[in-house]
Amino acid sequence: MSLTSPRLRAALVATASAGLIAAAVPAPEPLGIGDPLFPHLGNPGYDVLAYDIALTYGGDNRTPLDAVTRIDARATQRLERLNLDFSHGTVKTVHVDGRPADFTGTGEDLVVDTGRPVEPGTRLTVTVAHTSDPAAPKASGGWIRTSDGLAMANQADAAHRVFPCNDHPADKAYFTFHVTAPKDLVAVANGLPVARSVAGPTATWTYRGVHPMATELAQVSIGRSAVVRRTGPHGLPVRDVVPVADRERMEPWLAKTPDHLRWMEREIGRYPFETYGVLVADAATGFELETQTLSLFERGLFTHPDLPAWYIESIMVHELAHHWFGNSVSPRAWSDLWLNEGHATWYEARWAEDAGHRTLESRMREAYTASDRWRAAGGPPAAPRPPAPGQKISLFRPVVYDGSALVLYALRQEIGDTAFRELERRWVTRHAHATAGTSDFVRLASDVAGRDLTRFLRGWLYGERTPAMPGHPDWRSKAPSNAKPA
């Protein structure tokens, strides 16, 4: 995610509204997988293998969509009922392996009675018929209402406001989307197009991803859109989606993506997915988001008269870089967010340097000056404080952006540019299309450097104060006003 404020960015306030229909099962406590920042996200006892999601949009983005979500999963422990994350929709029916199942809602969980014990290793299919309501309070996450339809923004915890799921990036799965809408509109989703069929006044589009995806990265857009196609490196299909009225105005920006892809591939290696593109939404989101294979951008980023062109391109590179860092290699826990945003910020800054606009060193020196204040306000990079109540997007603080890129700069200073580049390439190769955490990164960095970097990185990742910067003994970080002397 790239928050464009204080560079044009507004805070996204996460709230939820539940509308689950209760049935016979007594309501248990909401479950979670123990993430320290989002304790009720995700659910134990099963691993989702695939989602198949059918959405029907009637043309009014204030009206709930009818939906059917099918979840193919494998039990990892004995189950007599299982929890799904789901809120802001009405559940109509639930089936487990084709049999009607009892269900109830508690907190933001949908609890399903499996009907009979499910043993570890057993596969099961849960099918939920439900609504998906886009009329949430403004900026609550999940559906975004655009001027001509809908788009999704599910980071960090909002996918379950759209469809029932195991809403944590530790449980990635394959996705298929079927979107039915009035045939004069265009529906797009993550992955590659599979089919389009027309029945009377409606059309149904089907999209399928080739690689597993975290729920927070799901994307469906419906509107009066133009789909612009071009070719990227190695014949990569590049698909951009923009409002029809903006097709010509956006073309100069869209045409830059193949060069951004080539630049990133020189830096880090081959692009890891089956397609890429830019989705321009006519909505004031206040952020950009790395939804997998189709990054979400607010229209205002490209039309604001005061933003320099190089800055806009650097934000485009930021979201593209996430496809290696965050999308392919996903965080094992939300406290590993620094690996996503620190790396995306790093390559954003590296691109700006290569393009001749601002040196990486000047940006990192500025970040170093502010680092102690950022740590005091939000915690150190790998141990961020929980988001403020009712403001879950507040997790995306300066310390996870430039404050975390600063960790990478310190590491490069310590081990040298050659070893650092090798580390980066090995990281995205070793953990491609999987999950990894901070301890994995420290271990790999030590392997590449040929010495134990645990102690060095501990201070940078977990210290309340910013360590001395290797090679820059003159750099100083301004302590927060309430800080105790070091």
pLDDT in tens, 457-466: 999 999 999 9
Statement to judge: residues 433 and 299 lie in one domain:
no
Statement to judge: residues 312 and 341 lie in one domain:
no
Q: Is the pLDDT of residue 430 over 80?
A: yes
Q: Does a structural domain hold residue 471?
A: no
Statement to judge: residues 304 and 341 lie in one domain:
no
Q: What is the pLDDT of residue 140?
A: 67
Q: What is the pLDDT of residue 2?
A: 63
Q: Does a structural domain hold residue 258?
A: yes
Tokens read off for 310: 């190089």
Q: What is the pLDDT of residue 393?
A: 73
Q: Is the pLDDT of residue 24 over 80?
A: no
The model's pTM: 0.92
Statement to judge: residues 344 and 370 lie in one domain:
yes
Q: Does a structural domain hold residue 71?
A: yes
Statement to judge: residues 345 and 298 lie in one domain:
no
Q: What is the pLDDT of residue 3?
A: 52
Q: Are 142 and 289 in contact (CB under 8 A)?
A: no
Mean pLDDT (whole number) for 220-224: 98
Q: Are 53 and 67 in contact (CB under 8 A)?
A: yes
Q: Are 371 and 377 in contact (CB under 8 A)?
A: no
Q: What is the pLDDT of residue 138?
A: 57
Statement to judge: residues 364 and 443 lie in one domain:
yes
Residue type, 474: D
- Indicate the residue among 321, 351, 384 that finishes a domain: 321
Q: Is the pLDDT of residue 397 over 70?
A: yes
- The domain containing residue 201 runs over which residues? 2-321
Tokens read off for 240: 């951009």
Mean pLDDT (whole number) for 86-98: 96
Statement to judge: residues 299 and 418 lie in one domain:
no
Q: What is the pLDDT of residue 485?
A: 36
Q: Is the pLDDT of residue 166 over 80?
A: yes
Q: Does a structural domain hold residue 472?
A: no
Domain count, the chain: 2
- Indicate the residue among 293, 321, 349 that finishes a domain: 321
Q: How many residues does the chain have?
A: 486
Q: What is the pLDDT of residue 26?
A: 45
Residue 468, φ and ψ in degrees, nearest 5: -65, 140
- Confidence band, pLDDT 50/70/90 cuts, at residue 13: very low
SS3 track for the chain = CEECCCCCCCCCCCCCCCCCCCCCCCCCCCCCCCCCCCCCCCCCCEEEEEEEEEEECCCCCCCCEEEEEEEEEEECCCEEEEEEECCCCCEEEEEECCEECCEEEECCEEEEEEEEEECCCCEEEEEEEEEECCCCCCCCCEEEECCCCEEEECCCCCHHHCCCECCCCCCCEEEEEEEEEECCCEEEECCEEEEEEEECCEEEEEEECCCCECHHHCCEEEECEEEEEEECHHHCEEEEEEEHHHHHHHHHHHCCHHHHHHHHHHHHCCCCCCCECEEEECCCCCEEECCCCCEEEEHHHHHCCCCCHHHHHHHHHHHHHCCCECCCEEECCHHHHHHHHHHHHHHHHHHHHHCCCCCHHHHHHHHHHHHHHHHHHHCCCCCCCCCECCEHHHHCCHHHCHHHHHHHHHHHHHHCHHHHHHHHHHHHHHCCCEEECHHHHHHHHHHHHCCCCHHHHHHHHHCCCCCCCCCCCCCCCCCCCCCCCC
Statement to judge: residues 208 and 304 lie in one domain:
yes
Q: Is the pLDDT of residue 480 over 50?
A: yes
Instruction: Give residue-wise pLDDT tens across range 244-272.
Output: 999 999 999 999 999 999 999 999 999 99
Q: Is the pLDDT of residue 25 over 90?
A: no
Q: What is the pLDDT of residue 1?
A: 72
Statement to judge: residues 121 and 243 lie in one domain:
yes
Q: Are 159 and 219 in contact (CB under 8 A)?
A: no
Residue 432, φ and ψ in degrees, nearest 5: -60, 135
Share of the chain above pLDDT 70, in %: 92
What is the CATH number for 57?
2.60.40.1730
Q: Does a structural domain hold residue 164?
A: yes
Report the relative pairing of strands 2-3 and 225-231 from DSSP bridges: unpaired
Mean pLDDT (whole number) for 319-323: 98
Q: Is the pLDDT of residue 481 over 90?
A: no
More confident residue, 401 or 11: 401
Q: Does a structural domain hold residue 338?
A: yes
- Confidence band, pLDDT 50/70/90 cuts, at residue 16: very low
Q: Does a structural domain hold residue 82?
A: yes
Statement to judge: residues 184 and 289 lie in one domain:
yes
Statement to judge: residues 143 and 261 lie in one domain:
yes
Instruction: Give residue-wise pLDDT tens across range 182-211.
Output: 999 999 999 999 999 999 999 999 999 999
- Confidence band, pLDDT 50/70/90 cuts, at residue 394: confident
- CA dist 113 and 70 (Å) reads 16
Mean pLDDT (whole number) for 14-18: 32
Q: Which distant-in-sequence residues (6+ apart) come within 8 Å of 62 by Cβ?
A: 134, 135, 145
- Indicate the residue among 321, 355, 375 that finishes a domain: 321
For residue 433, give the nearest of 269, 272, 291, 209 by alpha carbon.
272
Average pLDDT, the chain: 92
What is the CATH number for 377?
1.10.390.10
Q: Does a structural domain hold residue 481?
A: no
Mean pLDDT (whole number) for 157-181: 97
Statement to judge: residues 155 and 187 lie in one domain:
yes
Question: Which range has the worst mean pLDDT, 308-317, 394-403, 443-452?
Answer: 394-403
